[in-house]
Chains A and B, each alone.
Chain A
Amino acid sequence: DGGITQSPKYLFRKEGQNVTLSCEQNLNHDAMYWYRQDPGQGLRLIYYSQIVNDFQKGDIAEGYSVSREKKESFPLTVTSAQKNPTAFYLCASSQGVGNEQFFGPGTRLTVL
């Protein structure tokens, strides 16, 4: 089955630790995205990548980092510099500019 997978489903982090969220897609899409969702809110763009080895900051990139070494994978690292990292993180992909986006199941990150 084609789709997007994210892991882990739930993640707990102590303050001061970096954590990495995984996102993999087998849809052969060029573009991938990371969004953050806070309770009762819409989605905000953290980073996006148009092609391998290229990525751009979104609206709330501070405290986050990404890499795009493979077309299928777009991991997100939440660093200790992110002041309020507790949120729901969603990964998406699309074929290209303006095309329909498809989402993974999300990762819930809680900072203890």
Chain B
Amino acid sequence: GIQVEQSPPDLILQEGANSTLRCNFSDSVNNLQWFHQNPWGQLINLFYIPSGTKQNGRLSATTVATERYSLLYISSSQTTDSGVYFCAVPQGGFKTIFGAGTRLFVKA
């Protein structure tokens, strides 16, 4: 089956810093999602991005499907950005494969 790898596994930032999170996948995909899991466990949809670039406020994402990776950019990080960021891709039918996540902590 398809493999999804996220890097880095852990990231500590000073408030105001920028960061890039990466998601590599082992096979071609027709969609990709980025989620933020907050400290209470809620999974929040960030981007649904099969290809190209999307922006939402301080966050943006780029997926290069032909090279099998996606990047999530966080600019001017805030303490509320802390949590775990997951990427997820489909594997045939309804099955979705999640990466192991990047754990982000933003210090005030």
Interface residues of A (CB under 8 A from B): 31, 33, 37, 41-45, 48, 50, 56, 58, 88, 90, 92, 97-103, 105-106, 108
Contacts and interface: CB of A to CB of B under 8 A. Distances in A.
Contact of B101 (A42, A44, A97, A99): A42
A108 B41 contact: yes
B interface bracket (residues with beta carbon within 8 Å of A): 20 to 34
Contact of B94 (A31, A37, A90): A31
A101 B41 contact: no
Q: Closest 5 A-B residue pairs measured CB to CB?
A: A103-B43, A42-B98, A100-B48, A43-B98, A106-B41
B59 interface: no
Interface in B55-108: 86, 88, 90, 93-96, 98-101
Interface centre among B48, B90, B94, B101 (most CB of A within 10 A): B94
Contacts of B90: 98
Contact of A100 (B45, B86, B95): B45
Given A41-B100, A43-B86, A98-B31, A33 B41 contact: no
Interface string B32-63: 01010000111101001000000000000000
Contacts of A48: 94-95
Given A100-B33, A105-B41, A56 B94 contact: yes
A97 B43 contact: no
Given A31-B94, A48-B94, A108-B41, A101 B101 contact: no
A33 B94 contact: yes
B31 A42 contact: no
A48 to B, nearest CB: 5
A42 B101 CA distance: 7
Nearest to B101: A42
B100 A90 contact: no
Contacts of A101: 33, 45, 88, 96
Contacts of B33: 100-101
A41 B41 CA distance: 12
